[in-house]
Amino acid sequence: MRSMWITRAETSADIPAIREIDLAAFPTALEADLVDALRTDPTAWIDGLSLVAADDNGNLVGHALLTRCHIDDTPALCLGPVAVTPEQHKNGAGSAAVLAALTAAKDMGEHHVVVLGHPTYYPRFGFTRASIHGIGVTFDVPDEALMALTLDTDHPLPSGTVRYAAPFGI
């Protein structure tokens, strides 16, 4: 595993490369379109919480996005999409991007993050099953796929229903 990726917040110049990463990483354009839609939604998008991982030459290989959601009425962040260009899978770029995003969120004073994703991937970042915190969603999802994390132990996760930003369409 490559140990060092350069991580930083996206700039406007990164937008086409981020779209290319999503198009390459996912079977359809759904996630690429979602990222673009979230970027234009001021209620969802938070500057500084779209993080990229780049190689030494500045080529982008990974992307992790946090956008505003709510757990009932408590502001929280939704992690995803997370994507790495297929040629670089399992080289640590996804982890680097996710960790950079979570660190940036913590530095901004954010407390809570939810993710809907691979239940064997996200626990390495501290995510635990959302249902044990009384957190759920309004649609059917495997229980283990919805996970949550508090960035600050002084702010335990609230219980409630995750309300996603409009571009998620859920």
- List interacting residues with ligand COA (CB under 6 A): 25-26, 62, 80, 82-84, 89-95, 117-118, 120-121
Tell me how far, at minimum, the Cβ of 83 lies from ligand COA, in Å: 4
Q: Are 128 and 80 in contact (CB under 8 A)?
A: no
Q: Are 151 and 108 in contact (CB under 8 A)?
A: no
Residue 89 or residue 155: which is nearer to ligand COA going by CB? 89
Question: Tokens for 132?
Answer: 């044990």
Tell me how far, at minimum, the Cβ of 100 lies from ligand COA, in Å: 12
Tell me how far, at minimum, the Cβ of 154 lies from ligand COA, in Å: 28
Helix 30-39 vs helix 15-25: crossing angle, to nearest 10: 150
Residue 44 or residue 84: which is nearer to ligand COA going by CB? 84
Residue 81 or residue 158: which is nearer to ligand COA going by CB? 81
Residue 53 or residue 71: which is nearer to ligand COA going by CB? 53
Question: Tokens for 160?
Answer: 């409630």
Quote the CA–CA distance of 23 and 108 in Å, as a whole number. Answer: 29
Which residue in the shown chain puts its C-beta closest to ligand COA?
94
Q: What is the dihedral of CA 134, 137, 138, 144, to 10 degrees?
A: -100
Tell me how far, at minimum, the Cβ of 73 lies from ligand COA, in Å: 26
